Chain A
């Protein structure tokens, strides 16, 4: 059984079927193409996205709907192909897909989650992709509101102005 020695979890053993393959890596981490999803019952609903090759790289993620219960997933044709979904397949959110928002936990400052580019995983094909949206509905820095500061679930905050200025679709 293969295993990796990680910074956060020590030795982690896994089987090949556990591995999620990201054929394009993630923006900024293009060469990281194999990840494990790690959960700890005491830390649910957090899901850790642990790189297999670069063992000190581990993203903290939350299911997108834990961040925003009304979150609507959108997956472009290119990314559907990566995940092994049929191009014209309308429903994107079903049992076979998981949608995780990468969380940013700065030492100083408030936690945020990236709802602009959620990580989408297919449980069927075990492929993954960071599906960066091209609309401006959600922010890459969506604040994680505490119950004390807000009664209702986090409302997606408006996306940074700089993005509105550029509308290029390559």
Chain B
């Protein structure tokens, strides 16, 4: 990893057209200004982590769902549903397409 010391108002350049300027610093935070071409994706690293985890979650195994529910109910005496219920579409249980 390349380590560079910079002060407020100074910047670094990556390649020909990406520039990162130090706008503000505090003991706990640094505010950066990033100029980059439109096609370059700039993300907070947490967003990238979440993007990757979202993609993995989108192909979750539905066959493991009932196991998950049992596990959660073991640790929790009264499951808190997303009440009030009018916000959700509650489907009847008869359709057994999820629970094996």
Contact = CB atoms under 8 A, between A and B. Distances in A.
Contact of B61 (A27, A106, A132, A145): A106
Interface residues of B, number: 53
A27 B91 contact: no
Range, interface on chain A:
35 or more
B93 A42 contact: yes
Contacts of B87: 18, 37, 98, 121, 123, 126
Contacts of A60: 57, 60, 62, 65, 68
A75 interface: no
A12 B80 CA distance: 24
Contact of A170 (B32, B50, B72): B32
Interface string B47-84: 11111111111101111111011011011100111101
Nearest to A63: B80
Given A10-B97, A169-B31, A43 B65 contact: yes
Contacts of B76: 45, 66
Contact of A116 (B30, B49, B91): B49
Nearest to B74: A147
B89 interface: yes
Contact of A134 (B46, B56, B74, B99): B46
Contact of B43 (A37, A121, A145, A170): A170
Interface in A3-45: 8-10, 12, 14, 18, 26-29, 36-45
Contacts of B4: none
B98 A40 contact: yes
A60 B56 CA distance: 11
B90 interface: yes
Contacts of A126: 87
Contacts of A141: 53
A107 B61 contact: yes
6 contacts: A40-B91, A40-B93, A45-B81, A59-B54, A105-B62, A169-B30
Given A42-B99, A107-B64, 9 more contacts: A10-B95, A18-B88, A28-B55, A63-B80, A104-B53, A144-B68, A144-B72, A146-B74, A147-B75
